Structure 1
Amino acid sequence: MKPAIPVYDICSLSMGKDQQDLLIERLNHYLQNNYQKAIHQHGHSFYHLVLFTKGSGSHTLDFTKFSVQPYQVYFMIPGQVHNWHFSPDTDGYVIHFSETFFRSFLMHHDYLERFPFFSGDSKDQVLTVPLPAREEVKALFEKLVAEMETPQFDMIRVLMLQLFLLIERTSVREKKKAIPQQKLLVLRNFQQLINKHYRTIKLPKEYAELLYITPNHLNALCQDLLGKTAGELIRERILLEAKRMLTNADLTVTQIAYELNFQDNSYFNRFFKKYAGITPDDFRKSLNN
């Protein structure tokens, strides 16, 4: 049987360095040691981000393919699946950090979730740094690389937070103009609840109860801000997890249906084909093409 999709931790990618919570390197050096691992679908147990400064190729994040461009930056959260194919001249910077790296540093443990690029939604995780901000962004990466020589971790945390705030301010596509902050907060809370409970809570009305609003209010808010119903957002998250699990050849379709709390295998197959356009088995076969 084909082996299960690998899920790497930071130690497995640090080439002998005793790195459990943090890795910061120039991308060309990182690729020399890890390119063969990265060309195949794999997952991470940590947060991961890359800034490209030159080169070409493509990378796939949760089954959405992106072309590499200079000063593109992409982010991943633990549990996502990706792979890449880059030209030999590709360069930039790569940062890995564990889920616990900021935990003792920040009062709000969910602080990173405020950034759209840490949402786990691939369309918000790949950004192009605009020209006026490029030198400042690159300078922060250079400081982070230099700081790793004799790491003072609180300084690294401060620089990383500065980088996240700068990218949010300059690079996040503005889709929320003139929208009250309260609406955005409810939507983000809904998305976070879906990420936590998609296996067991399937109905918009159940999420509305957790948010102390009516189902109609929740649905109207999703339609207004995203052009989708609350039910669509829930189904998209379930479908995404099904795709991730299907990359693991050690899991049968029946096991995946059970893990996602479908009534039976045939119901899961109908759900997947309706929203993905192909059967789970055909999707699994397509990963090898």
Structure 2
Amino acid sequence: MPQKLIFEDSYKKLGFETFSENNPEALKENEYKSEIKILYVPEGYELSVDFSHYKTEQPSLFFLTNQHLQVEKGVKESNLLYYNRDFYCIQIHDKEVACDGLLFHNVFEIPFVVLNEKESTVIKNIFQSIKQELEWKDSSAEEMIRTYLKQIIIHATRMWKKQNLDNDTVKIPGHELDIFRDFSRYLEIHFREKHHVADYAGLLHIVPKTLTHKFKNLNLESPNRMIINRILLEAKRLLLYTDKPVKEIAYNLGYEDPAYFNRLFTGKTGSTPTNFRKNYSSGKKYNI
């Protein structure tokens, strides 16, 4: 059985669980659906996040909010931290390490950080410290745990930036990061009712053409395409993981005309919503 430890009061919640190689399937996503999640996975795991499949060749950290998670195979122990916004999401936190910082919602759709041996040891030690605080149940445990949680996010944010921004594929100047981070955050909040680039440009206090050019200059997909991709991702989740009719899904995603939504989905995916629900088998596969 997985080991479960939890801190909880009227509003705040943080849990810690350990999963062994004998029961990776015990990590049931539905139990943690509403929480922010940090999953430490050693090498030798196979798991799916939404419609992408990962095989870990090195220890990795996955940062998840409402993605669908399924662990298919596991070697050694994995650890899961899950918490709500009341526990850690104070607005005065630096944007990069808040609950909606670089790791959880970003325009690159990269939900993981790969760890080398030294980094893995550091992260495992912090996880262990959180576990001990939860076991001791001291009156100061909450603040200590929050401090450790922030350390994980700071370490991982540095590693994420090094792995994904300091390379020949993507180079984003530091002063530009806020725009891309804020675009991702606004998109996650508003994609159900705001479907146009102009909506997000307004929230960012820039003109739509400027926003589009910023993405183009960095060889990123256009903001319009990212908006559509986020809508389609949610549509796929609802088609596969709920029994909602296509018409209801269209309404949930802000489309008053289900026929238009049907055409959009079919045009972008090559399959009608009904056929996607019937025929989908597996997502992209990645080795990390």
The bucket for the TM-score relative to the shorter chain is 0.7 to 0.9
1:84 has 2:76 as partner = no
1:128 has 2:114 as partner = yes
Q: Residue 18 of structure 2: which of 23, 26, 38 is its match?
A: 26
1:15 is displaced (CA, Å) by: 6.7
Which amino acid in the other structure matches residue 158 of structure 2? Answer: R
CA contact (8 A) 1:26 1:145 kept: no
Are residues 234 and 27 of structure 1, via their aligned partners in 2, closer, same or farther at CA, if it must alter by over 3 Å? same
CA contact (8 A) 1:269 1:280 kept: yes
Q: Residue 103 of structure 2: which of 117, 138, 141 is its match?
A: 117
User: May I ask how many residue pairs the two structures share in their alignment?
Assistant: 270
Report the TM-score, using the length of structure 1 for normalisation.
Answer: 0.81
Output the CA distance in 2 between the equivalents of 1:60 and 1:284: 18
Q: Tell me, which stretches of 5 or more residues in structure 1 are unaligned?
A: 1-12
1:36 is displaced (CA, Å) by: 4.7
1:169 has 2:158 as partner = yes
Query: Which whole-Å deviations, capped at 9, do the CAs of 1:20-66 have from their partners, x for residues lacking one?
Result: 7111133229x74x83563x888711011211235x34211121111
Q: Residue 86 of structure 2: which of 97, 100, 124 is its match?
A: 100
Secondary structure of the equivalent of 1:285? helix
Which amino acid in the other structure matches residue 241 of structure 1? Answer: E
Are residues 145 and 73 of structure 1, via their aligned partners in 2, closer, same or farther at CA, if it must alter by over 3 Å? same
Q: Which residue of 1 aligns with 2:286?
A: none
Which amino acid in the other structure matches residue 230 of structure 2? Answer: R
CA contact (8 A) 2:15 2:81 kept: yes
Are residues 69 and 119 of structure 1, via their aligned partners in 2, closer, same or farther at CA, if it must alter by over 3 Å? same
Report the TM-score, using the length of structure 2 for normalisation.
Answer: 0.81
Output the CA distance in 2 between the equivalents of 1:258 and 1:143: 45
Q: Tell me, which stretches of 5 or more residues in structure 2 are unaligned?
A: 283-288
- Superposition RMSD in Å: 3.0
Output the CA distance in 1 between the equivalents of 2:236 and 2:31: 13
Q: Which has the higher contact order (CA 8 A, sep 6+)?
A: 2
Q: Which residue of 2 aligns with 1:144?
A: 130
Superposed counterparts of 1:1-289, under 5 Å: 21-28=13-20, 32=23, 35-36=25-26, 38=28, 44-54=33-43, 56-77=44-65, 79-87=66-74, 89-103=75-89, 107-108=92-93, 112-113=98-99, 115-119=101-105, 123-151=109-137, 152-172=141-161, 173-175=163-165, 179-287=172-280
Output the CA distance in 2 between the equivalents of 1:109 and 1:128: 23
